[in-house]
Chain A
Amino acid sequence: MDEQALIAAARRGDAQAFNKLILNYQTIVYNVAYRILHDQDAAADAAQDAFLSAYHALGNFRGGSFKAWLLRIVTNGCYDQLRAAQRRPTSSLDDLQVDPDHSLMLVSGSESPEEYALRQDLSRTIQAGLDELPVDQRTTLILSDIQGLSYEEIAQATSVSLGTVKSRLSRGRARLRDYLQGKEELLPSRYRLSGR
């Protein structure tokens, strides 16, 4: 069954059809939420809320990219969580320890322990650099350079114009580049930015 048929069935109240859509998009939705929030539980809650909201708001979906529509819902949910976190600042204990069940360590079973350590360092450094960005530039960078969305899909997911997407992306990349150039000792040699 193709995506449009699944959406139509879900609109009629077929939860199983919507679960098939969830199966297709849950990885990207969770990844975007995790990169924005940098918290596993918060990202999982944001993803679950986004799918529930999407199921209830299916009547408002007017066609176009279903992925972009879903990502718009989840990014809005992430913004809400960040605003709530700014009002009630807390520190997550999950980030201080290595979660054996978390997929960051189980992406590929064929990699060596050294490669695993390098990838983990790289991920932490990049995530720290993303955390330094303003949330709108961070979201645009995540959607474009990590999730590989087109400019049009990003514009739809973030409800901004193409020009705004371009400028956010340009400024976000430049700031992240500057951050990573300051942390070159933490990057693997092949990823070191020796431009200047």
Chain B
Amino acid sequence: MFQWMNRSPQAEHQFCQDNLSSFLDRQLTSREQDRVARHLQECADCRADLASLRQTVAVLHAMPAIKPPRTFFIPASEGVRQTQVRRSRLAYGYLQFATAVATVLLVLVVSGDALLRLGVATPTREGLVRNVERTALDTRAGEVEPMATSAPALQAPAPAPVTSGAVPLSSEESTVVTMLGEAAPPEGASQTETAQAMADEQALGAKAMPSQTFARPAAAPPLPAGTQESGAGTPPAAETAPSEPVATLEPGPTAALEIPTPLPTEAPVPPTATPVPTAVPAAPVETPTPQPTPVALEHEELPPPALAGWRRSLQAMQPLLPWLEWILGALVVVLLAATLWLRRRQHAA
């Protein structure tokens, strides 16, 4: 509270000199006012400065007010002009917004049209058919999958003729069979599709690998009559009477087979030859199998509803897009010109 007693007289004098003007206008805090007042009682120089300062302020206060040489009224037209300027600014803002919106729409329409023309948005017919066929195959495999549980019963007799070592297949044939067995369609696939798949695989293999590896020889090696009969009759026998495969292969002709076979397979045929009986369970599915083309058409006619609607609307809009581009382009040009004209007019005003 009595800190002022500890301050030096020089510091008090400086504080008073710095705050004389504010002291005169009573702009100091009460404590500062008291501090300056206490120093003024002790310091004659500061009292003289305060008096001269007060006189200066009095001189300034005595300065007469000057009457303006004229009035500074603004004309009434300025009010009208001000209103016009305000409206013009508002219109300029709206025009800028409309131009931006129209430009964005134009860019969207042009890019969408370009995508449609490139075929990104609408798949081609070939692509659709390919997808549909793949979907049909997958669907059918899923349908036939439960039947695989009965396959062992059908496949069980099959090893019998194989293990007898009397399978009259050449190495090429076994290779083909192996390849077919690896690339064979699901067990439920029909023979038509299997044949189609084989043809496709052969066509692909013919391009990728030497032809003699996969192609069946034009002239098959001569086989004994019994073997040919048994070989030709194997699939029907398996199809018709899978439970009695041994009966179809008689031991007599089988023994005779071992001599004339051009490329005899003395060793037991590896399990890769099992595709022969694997075709057996396909037989029951053969009759009700629909043709792939009607399936594809049927699937093409019933795409997902949203996709169908989108495709229909895109196809319907596609002829209109060039007109829309022209209209939007003209609109953007007109709006841009109006915006620039309004801006120049505002600057001129």
Contact = CB atoms under 8 A, between A and B. Distances in A.
B66 A126 contact: no
A12 B130 CA distance: 71
A191 B68 contact: no
Interface string B53-87: 10111111111111111111111101110110110
B20 interface: yes
A191 B51 CA distance: 12
Given A56-B82, A103-B67, A18 B21 contact: no
A7 interface: no
Contacts of B18: 170
A122 interface: yes
B56 A193 contact: yes
A122 B59 contact: yes
A5 B55 CA distance: 41
A119 B53 CA distance: 20
Given A170-B22, A173-B56, A44 B69 contact: yes
A18 B76 CA distance: 10
A27 interface: yes
B250 interface: no
Contact of A126 (B19, B59, B65): B59
A123 B61 contact: no
A166 B27 contact: yes
A153 B50 CA distance: 25
A180 B66 contact: no
- Say what secondary structure dominates the interface of chain A: helix
Contacts of A83: none
A177 B56 contact: yes
Contacts of B74: 15, 18-19, 22, 51-52, 55
A177 B66 contact: no
Contacts of B69: 30, 40, 44, 101-103
B52 A30 contact: no
Contact of A104 (B64, B71, B73): B64
Interface residues of B, number: 42
A46 B63 CA distance: 21
A52 B79 CA distance: 11
Contact of A103 (B21, B63, B66, B76): B66
B25 interface: yes
Interface string B12-24: 0000001111100
B22 A107 contact: no
A106 interface: yes
B21 A170 contact: yes
A80 interface: no
A51 B85 CA distance: 17
A141 B59 contact: no
Contact of B48 (A34, A44, A195): A195
B108 to A, nearest CB: 37
Contact of B86 (A13, A27, A123, A146): A13
Contacts of A8: none
A31 B22 contact: no
Contacts of A141: 60
Contact of B78 (A55, A102, A195): A55
B298 interface: no
Contacts of A196: 45, 48-49, 52
Contacts of B83: 13
